[in-house]
Amino acid sequence: MKKIILMFLLVCAGMVQAGEYAFLVFTNTAGTQTALKVTYLTMKVNGAQLDVTNEDGTVNFSLTDLASMQFRTESGEWADVENVLDGDGPVRVFTILGSSLGEFDNMVQAASKLAHGIYIVTDGKRSVKINIHK
């Protein structure tokens, strides 16, 4: 069944014009994201893995570990934690479900206290989603 769904996604991927989206972002079951340019993108199911090739080379993904694929206009790569929000002032951190985890003196302090996961951080002017890998 997973191969049928994957083949459908591959057909849909072929119908999307590269001018609309610059990246295809793969997310594995651990939450790690890999963004690949869609220029000259091809995908091939090879046994239990997906081989994705673009102008930069080939990346292999285990089908059992692949959680999602999304076309995006941006790569979705994460900035250094201290550069996420302007300034060095206090930030509030929330889970992705909206529960408050508290206020911290700055972004670096918040990141040092957070466990592996995805969070929403705000400085009162701007909110961003961050991904902490530990």
pLDDT tens-digit map of 82-98: 556 666 789 999 988 88
**Which whole number is the average pLDDT over 4-13?**
54
Reported confidence tier of residue 71, pLDDT bands at 50, 70, 90: confident
Confidence (pLDDT) at 61: 92
The answer to pTM > 0.75 is no
Count Cβ atoms within 10 A of the Cβ of residue 130 and give its class: 0-12 exposed, 13-18 middle, 19 or more buried: buried
Domain spans of the chain, in order of start: 2-72, 81-132
Cβ contacts of 15 within 8 Å, gap of 6 or more: none
Assigned architecture for domain 2-72: Roll (2.30)
List the beta strands (DSSP E) in the chain.
23-28, 33-37, 42-46, 49-54, 57-62, 66-72, 91-95, 100-104, 117-122, 127-132
